[in-house]
Amino acid sequence: MANNIIFKGAATALITPFKNSKEIDYNQFASLIDWQIDSGIDALVVCGTSGEASTLTDEEHKSAISFAVKQARGRVPIIAGTGSNDTAYAVELSKYASDEGADALLIVTPYYNKATQKGLINMYNEIADSVKCPLICYNVPSRTGVNIEPSTYLELSKHPNINAIKEANGNISKIADTALIIKDKLNIYSGNDDQIIPILSLGGIGVISVLSNLFPKETSEMCKLYFEGKVDKALELQLKFLPIIHALFCEVNPIPVKCAMKHLKFCDGSVRGPLTEMEAANEKVLVEQMRKLNLNV
């Protein structure tokens, strides 16, 4: 485990509530942040993939980060998504979030134009040089088309501001290779809800979770049980939630989780194009799984 951990346990990759997809609903955003914290979540991620950062305007992106920091009032760490496929813009946004009091930054690999491993090293180091708070490198090749190699993580670990990895490449063998190489130089977080326990078993210290939008207490508890040595009980929770995890990813994230949070009255469920409302048949399955887990929908 690397020093100065950002959080240990579960961080929710928060949705951004909208009013008919047109503007951020800050009243709902405040309610959601407070409910998450009151439910025992360990940290919150704003303006990430689940927060639809790619369709927020610059003004909205900055406003959402500032709002979350103020609403949390230091009760849990706020991690701001400030990555981009334009290094200069990522630096600008990261500086803003750091100055506004974000506790850490989640930096996705560049998408579309992508990058070589050398390009990734240059980008992450440039961002890390520009801010005061720690960085989490976000590896999600299914969305970006680029994978951070274990040797690249080792090189990045030399920078004092590069603290952790959100690993969502889905390849447990590759993540094991990374854990072997970096040892205690970087902290590892699962980026996939169906791999929380497998990644904890490789030395991970938590998860950045979509599931915890619905189940903050239980997702955090899953991690705590594992850390307490109650592996069987932790695994029991992992398997218990697998069906709803599958339902939450049966369409591109965050379409299903936005739909689920609509049923829990935390938002109107609207998403911004090119995302669309959830297909009726898939929504039916999702609601069934929510009811099986005793959610009031």
Query: Which residues are marked as active site?
Result: 138, 166
Contacts of 194 (CB under 8 A, 6+ apart): 238, 242, 245, 246
78, two tokens: 């706020």
